[in-house]
Amino acid sequence: MGETITFWVLAVVSVVAALGLVFSRKAVYSALMLGVVMLSLAVLYAVQDAPFLAVVQIIVYTGAVMMLFLFVLMLVGVDSSDSLVETIRGQRFWAVVAGLGFAVLLAVGIGNAVIGDPAGLSGAVTADGGNVPALARLIFTRYVFAFEVTSALLITAALGAMVLAHRERSAPKATQKDLSRARFLGDHPTPLPGPGTYARHNAIDMPALLPDGSVSELSVNRVIARHDVEGGRLPDNPRLAQAIRNVASGSGGTSPSPKVVQAVAEEPGSPSRSEGLGEPEGGGRSEGFSEPEVLGDAEDKPKVAQTAGRAAEHPVEEEGK
Amino acid sequence: MTTHYLVLSALLFAIGGVGVLVRRNAIVVFMCVELMLNACNLAFVTFARQHGNLEGQIIAFFVMIVAAAEVVVGLAIIVTIFRTRRSASVDDANLLKY
């Protein structure tokens, strides 16, 4: 009876979580849903006389594998959302039809099979005095060769991961001198304005007001601006709201790396930034949280940031808010 | 009760398969593969109890090990592809075609 209740609760939870894994738009939600499925399966293992597997499931899957997934997700960038373009026409529809058909086929097949009462594992386990000793006896006697091969597999996987994730430096590391030269060759020699400077709030999503009262779009992170736009948390002031919208829409194209970093890449010291290898050495920050785009500051805005030092002596009246 | 477990396993496997076919983000596709492996493990454990034989649990254990190794290598590949192509979408990794 207790097993039946456990099964029905966890079956519903795990199927709903699996559906959420497939259909949630954000990859982090998918990862959390997968964690829920794995935990419910661990409990189902424990119910089915497999305590060792239940513990291994929690330690290996929800502990190691899920953390690895989340780690890579954060590394790749949480804002890399799925594209909704179907490369093959009708693929989604037919995929769902195939999945439904497969599920129905399996379920009907299993339902038609005559399956008696489970034999239970007590007979196999009692001779060795428990689940873990019984498993250990099997692993280290009959399956010892497979076990050893597994160790070779794990070592190979670790080596492979190291080789794949390693990156050869194709150019000498940019020194501080190179970086500062590149910064002055670029169009923004000063540090980017911090969010909230001269504005009424210093929240991280509040664009800075420059000394002439104009709104700096450089001061807000693109990811944060996008969150604000999606969540409808724009400030009341129309100019600030428009600035945040501009940042979020990212009118500079899809490349997330800021111009300052690109200037390092194009600097004369390391002329041939290899084409395929992408990111410059200076761009060590993760892409998901990169600096905002440099948005059209050449056309519509004078380089007021450079005059900030001078203007600080004359306190600026807050006309932005 | 065994039938229930097997049907649940089949459902999870089918959902994972649909996810692999539908999703374009390589990491989510990987998660769906993990879901399918987990569904298989559930079937193994269920049959182990059904037949009163521990071998099913041993196989599930080995599947877990292989899945862990597969995740390590697969995620390293995804990171490498992301580094060169600036995208984690499976549609963009089509270099082998040409």
**Domain limits, CATH 1.20.120.1200, in chain A:** 1-80
Q: What is the largest CA-CA distance in chain A?
A: 88
- CATH number among 1.20.120.1200, 3.40.50.720, 3.50.50.60, 1.10.150.170, domain A1-80: 1.20.120.1200
Could you say which DSSP state residue B55 is in? Answer: H
Query: Among residues A122, A80, A139, A49, which one has the least CA distance to residue A288?
Result: A80
Determine whether the interchain pair A83/B91 forms a contact, defined as Cβ–Cβ distance below 8 Å. yes
- In 3D space, the residue among B91, B95, B4 whose CA is nearest the CA of residue B46 turns out to be B4
| pLDDT value for B51 | 87
All domains in chain B, ordered by first residue: 2-93 (1.10.287.3510)
Identify the residue with better confidence: A166 or A8: A8
Higher pLDDT, A231 or A269: A231
Higher pLDDT, A32 or A229: A32
Range from A99-113, A225-239, A240-254, A295-309 carrying the lowest mean pLDDT: A295-309
Query: Residue A173: what pLDDT?
Result: 87
The CA distances from residue B76 to A60, A164, A251, A288, B89, in Å, are 18, 6, 32, 18, 15
Categorize the per-residue pLDDT at A57 as very low, low, confident or very high, splitting at 50, 70 and 90: very high
pLDDT at A306: 40
Cα–Cα dist A240/A245, whole Å: 9
**Of A114 and A297, more confident:** A114
Quote the pLDDT of residue A264: 43
Give the pLDDT band of residue A304 (cuts 50, 70, 90).
very low
Per-residue pLDDT, B62 = 93
CB B46 within 8 A of CB B7: no
Cβ-count burial of B95 within 10 angstroms (0-12 exposed, 13-18 middle, 19+ buried)? exposed
If one compares A200 and A2, the residue with the highest pLDDT of the two is A2
Say whether pLDDT at A83 is over 70.
Answer: no
- As a whole-number percent, the residues of chain A with pLDDT over 70 amount to 73
Q: Give the least confident one: A60-74, A77-91, A211-225.
A: A77-91
What distance in Å separates the CA atoms of residue A50 and residue B45, rounded to the nearest whole number? 7
Hey, is the C-beta of B81 within 8 angstroms of any chain A C-beta? no
* Residue contact B18–A98, C-beta within 8 A: yes
Binary contact (B7, A41; C-beta < 8 A): no
Q: Which residues of A touch B67 (CB under 8 A)?
A: 61, 65
Q: How much is the pLDDT for A310? A: 39
B27/A106 Cβ within 8 A: no
Interface test with chain B among A41, A88, A125, A150, by most B beta carbons within 10 Å: A41
pLDDT exceeds cutoff 80 at A127: no
The mean of the pLDDT values for chain A is 75
Per-residue pLDDT tens over the stretch A251-288: 544 334 444 444 444 444 433 333 333 334 333 333 33
The Cα A29–Cα A39 span in angstroms is: 15
Residue A226 pLDDT exceeds 50: yes
Residue A29 has pLDDT above 80, yes or no: yes
pLDDT the model gives residue A265? 44
Predicted local confidence at residue B34, as pLDDT: 92
Rounded distance between C-alpha atoms, residue B85 and residue B77, angstroms: 12
Q: Name the stretches of chain B with pLDDT < 50.
A: none
CB contact under 8 A, A18 and B68: no
pLDDT at B16: 93
Q: What is the DSSP string of A69-123?
A: HHHHHHHH-TT-PPP---SSTTHHHHHHHHHHHHHHHHHHHHHHS-------SHH
Q: Do B58 and A143 touch (CB under 8 A)?
A: yes
CA distances from A204 to A59, A94, A193, A234, A304 (A): 37, 45, 12, 12, 21
Say if CB A161 and CB B73 are below 8 A apart. Answer: yes
Cβ contacts (< 8 Å) between A61 and chain B: which residues? Answer: 34, 38, 64, 67
**Is residue A302 very low, low, confident or very high in pLDDT (cuts 50, 70, 90)?**
very low
Task: State both tokens at A204.
Answer: 């991280």
More confident residue, B45 or A230: B45
| A258 burial level (CB within 10 Å; 0-12, 13-18, 19+) | buried
Cα-trace Rg, chain B: 16
